[in-house]
A and B are shown apart, each in its own frame.
Chain A
Amino acid sequence: MAGDAASPAPRGGIKFQYASGSKPLEGYTIKRGIGRGGFGEVYFATSDAGKEVALKHVERNLEVELRGVSQCLNLKHANLIDLYDVRYDEQGDAWIVMEFVGGPSLKDVIDRNPNGLPIDQVLAWFRGIAAGAAYLHDHGIVHRDLKPGNIFDDAGTVNIGDYGLSKFISTSRRSGQTESVGTFHYMAPEIGKGVYGKEIDIYALGIILYEMLTGRVPFEGESSQEIMMKHLTADPDLSNIAQPYRAVIQRAMQKDPDKRFATVGEMLVAVEAGPPATKPPAATPSQPAHGTLLPPVGIPIAPPVYIGVEDAAAEGISFGPVQQHVPQKVPAPAQPAPRRKFAPPLHAPREPIAAAVAQGWTQFADWWNHGPINTPLKIVILLSALVLAIFYGGWLLPAAAALGAVYLLYLGIRLATQALNAPPIPARDDPAPGSPLPQYRSAGWTSLSWEQQGRELLRMKTPADRIGELTGSMLGSALIAAVLTVVMTTLGGQTLQSSANPYAGPAWLWLATTLGSWLLLGAGKFLETGGGEMVRRRFLMLVLGLVFGAVAFALGEFLMVRMYDGPVPGSSLRGIGNSPWVQTMFDSVGQPKLLGFVGYFGAIFLTIGWWKQTDPLRPSRMRIGPILLVVLAAWVWECLIPFPQPWGFMTVTAIAIATQLSAPWLSPAERTAAARNRRNMV
């Protein structure tokens, strides 16, 4: 089995043409359908003798593709999925009989490691891929569709599949944009010109190496055209990649095919020149035993066979005129292309304190999002932090503000010192008339590779799906709010129970938390597909905050909740919080009026990007960063609008927690399954 067909059947199932037990092809019995691609359906089947195979039903019987497969039938390598035969059924449809691989694809592995694979696994995968690709090249075959979805782990051995069918899969318009987007991520720029040399495989290997190291592809976009344009013009962002892999990827992804590695073996040698600690081969997947990385000495290398090149136009490829690529005979250009000048770093070396804080935060976020702690424990930690913030916020926040001020002062002095000591900046040469404009390095795309697919999946939801999800989330948030209310009442003590009825305060807290999370969940449901400009989103949040404040005020009045009994509460910043306009927000005993409610909550809702907390594609179900941000916003706005505390802090914090915990979230496993399901549905 090869390609996407290696994926197990999606949950919920897709309808296959042939049922289990049927025998559309003589000598083989269908056991189950396991996937569907642009070329047709893939089945797990057994021969009459009992051998397990994968059967590809080529629904479009294209001679060119099948000829390509036929040329690969006699290839034999440990890192290639074996193609056994091409057979025809009674209707004349072609079936490709091939090795069945039950292990996960590299794409599955990357999806499970959104921040990249450990370096030993990267090397193990890359050795196998390189060995298989080199073997293909040695036999004059360019894969042309190397991508993680076509590479599998078969009990510790890396296997490359879908060679021979690459042409069809990669460029057929029949598969539509959704199939193509996944392939375009690995497409070398010269493919647009119809050039199909082995350099495109090396380019794809560079991208695969990048993706294994970072968990994402270097170029992403909203459309295939945008991705292709980036392949043509942009440089990948390699700032997060250590040497020597950075140099390897940089060379492999050169726009000019001639500047890339000449062979896969050369590229592998460069990769293997990594840090000594990374040298030992990994156990999983095991290092391929039969990798032939260098051209066999004394054996003439046949020119590459470009499968189906002649049918490019017929297939509807619209990249440009088809050119036969002859790497060895390309004449040197009369005017050599101006070598790109790498611009100096756009920013000065990072300030060490900021770098340390950022690194610490990144590590903490990684531990929080991917560490061993489970969600209940996270809640306990958060609540403990909240308690500490409540009890010690009186001096913690001012202390943090003072530290921040000191840091800003230090930063200002540092920048001024650097400016004084820095060498004079040479004046930038004005470009000569007619000369090309200086090129600046593109920052590249840093979003996760699965995000776009996730958005597509979210857009595919029906209204019934959305309403069902929303009602479930609303019920969940009500329950979570109830639990949080119990905890907060226990922590808040008498403060929350000073109303006419001691349960009125907690009831208000529960209702306000539930209502707030419902508003955000409802809004998030409409924003999850990624639509809406930032300004509109902010405006929506403001409206929600005003509505929430008004309803919370009405609830407080109805339940006769007494939040504060005394003079108008003072602000953390004296003089601001006690201004006349603030006084109008409170009654004579310090209870906030309608204006106080809508002002405070409207401001907080406007400040926070709540839609990120309801996004099903957020990195983890509950993230501490947004919650801390909510607390910070509550504190900052409390300086201007002295809303009684801890009511304000507790309410918005509880809303954030309840919203995050109840909002739909796609776990990595679900993302993998959903993406596979969608891919197979195409």
Chain B
Amino acid sequence: MKRVQAIIATVSLALLTHLCLAGEDKSPPSSAPGSGSTLPAERLPADDSPASPSDPVIETPAELVIPAGRPEWVAAAPKLDGDVQQFSVSSEPWHSKPEARRKLDEALVAQTSEFIVDTLGSQLATSFPALHYDAKTIRARLVTANYDETIVSPSVGPMHVLHARLEFGPDFRAEIERKWSEIRATSRLVQTGLFAGAGLLILGAVFGFFRFDTATRGYYTGRLQLLTSAAILAVMGAGAVLARYVHWL
């Protein structure tokens, strides 16, 4: 009897939870917040998919309503204006403005990283803190225009969409190239240090062998050779392990 009561309670709780969540989630299911995506048109046809019996009933227009006054750059494709590369970045429609802002920030960071990777030609470039720009920095230095709008979705209703225009000028390009040079130089310095250190240690092992062999008058040559070989192998092994932590740029 108790088992039947527990099953009924669990099913009831699941149904209640599903209903609550269906009422909150109004994000577009098809497009993830990506960089460079733009809204296609002033008005879009409404979603024809049949409503679930569990969806709440909301008054919506028949097609997507985009308010007038949207700047041209919002829907423009990426373009190169002289030395300046321009990108338009959007947050996609979101029910609340903070959510839209967060998504726009993510899109800005993603677009900037993509530009850096393309410019420097290395997928590893943005993995270095020096070449990772956060949203705040990007807004302050690279975003040259913003546009916020509220569109009305036929299925969801009013939604917030934020737009930003990114401009990568020659100064920024020089900056990331300079930083990339520093990173590569540091990486190569570490590589050189690794090889030099290993070389000196191996040389020290060889020197030690001859010194000890002379000091012991050749009585322990075999053992010393074994020890020296082991030491050289250990140095090489340690070098191989350390090499895994080095960026080979």
Contact = CB atoms under 8 A, between A and B. Distances in A.
Interface in A550-579: 555, 558-560
B123 interface: no
Main secondary structure of the interface of B (DSSP, over half): helix
Contact of B210 (A471, A499, A507): A471
State the majority secondary structure of interface residues on A. helix
Contact of B182 (A472, A474, A500, A558): A500
A354 interface: no
Contacts of B20: none
A271 B188 CA distance: 72
A268 B206 CA distance: 58
A647 interface: no
A559 B207 contact: no
B184 A500 contact: yes
B182 A501 contact: yes
Interface in B156-192: 178, 181-182, 184-186, 188-189, 192
B188 A468 contact: no
A560 B196 contact: no
Given A500-B182, A500-B185, A468 B211 contact: yes
Given A471-B206, A475-B204, A464 B213 contact: yes
A560 B185 contact: yes
A658 to B, nearest CB: 14
A559 B181 CA distance: 10
Interface in A452-477: 464-465, 467-468, 471-472, 474-475
Given A474-B203, A475-B200, A501-B182, A560 B188 contact: yes
Interface residues of A, number: 20
A499 B213 CA distance: 44
Contacts of B178: 500
B211 to A, nearest CB: 6
Contacts of A472: 207, 210-211
Given A464-B210, A467-B210, A559 B203 contact: no
Contacts of A501: 182, 185-186, 189
Contacts of B192: 507, 511, 555, 558-559
A560 B184 contact: yes
A500 B183 CA distance: 8
A478 interface: yes
A559 B184 CA distance: 9
A511 B211 CA distance: 25
Interface string A478-506: 10000000000000000000011101100
A504 B189 contact: yes
B188 A559 contact: yes
Interface string A611-636: 00000000000000000000000000
Given A467-B210, A559-B192, A475 B185 contact: no
Contacts of A478: 200
Given A475-B200, A478-B200, A559-B192, A468 B207 contact: yes
15 contacts: A464-B213, A468-B207, A468-B211, A468-B214, A472-B207, A500-B181, A501-B186, A504-B188, A511-B192, A511-B196, A558-B188, A559-B185, A559-B189, A560-B181, A560-B188
Given A471-B206, A500-B185, A503-B189, 15 more contacts: A464-B213, A467-B206, A467-B210, A468-B207, A474-B203, A475-B200, A478-B200, A499-B185, A501-B182, A501-B185, A507-B192, A511-B192, A559-B188, A559-B189, A560-B188
